[in-house]
Copies of this chain bind each other. A is one copy, B any other.
Amino acid sequence: MIYLTRRYRFSASHRLHNETLTAEENQRLYGKCDNAFGHGHNYVLDVTVAGPVEAETGMAFDLGELDRTVEREVLERFDTTNLNLDDRRFRSVVPTTENLCIEIYRTLEPKLAGQGRWPAARLDRVRLEETNSNYFEYAGGL
């Protein structure tokens, strides 16, 4: 097994706010991130695929296919958007980077399995950086 990681970038805005909580509770939990009009980030997304190296090509996965899949499933959906207002998923779920990271994993996982020459390749993990000082990782499971 070798692990191939490819880096993507997208920019989006969000507001951290849960309507079922009080204003005070929202403020205490999210601080400035509860600002009514939102704020934004340059997200850095690292997608890691695991699999054996296919002997003839010397490759663990087709990078072009990976790029097209991430472009279509993630970047077109989230880049240059307001997560709360533009995306159906985050109308009812708070768009924290935790939830965004899990949503990206769940979206990519079925799309990156069993492609052509790489039947054993699979999504290993997703890493989503929100700012220069924090990032989140999700590898599936509960």
* A→B interface (CB under 8 Å): 1-9, 11-14, 16, 18, 20-21, 29, 31-33, 35, 37-42, 44, 52-53, 56-60, 62-64, 79-82, 84-86, 93-96, 98-99, 101-102, 131-139, 141-142
> Which residues from chain B contact A3 at a C-beta distance below 8 Å?
136-138
In angstroms, Cα B101 to Cα A96, docked, is 28
In angstroms, Cα B35 to Cα A38, docked, is 14
In angstroms, Cα B112 to Cα A97, docked, is 20
Once A32-B79, A81-B37, A131-B42 are accepted as A-B contacts, the answer to whether A60 and B98 lie under 8 Å apart by CB is yes
Task: Tell me whether B81 and A35 are in contact (CB under 8 A).
Answer: yes
Q: Which B residue's beta carbon lies closest to that of A61? A: B98
Task: Tell me whether A5 and B59 are in contact (CB under 8 A).
Answer: no
Once A13-B40, A58-B93, A94-B57 are accepted as A-B contacts, the answer to whether A82 and B35 lie under 8 Å apart by CB is yes
> Which residues from chain B contact A52 at a C-beta distance below 8 Å?
142
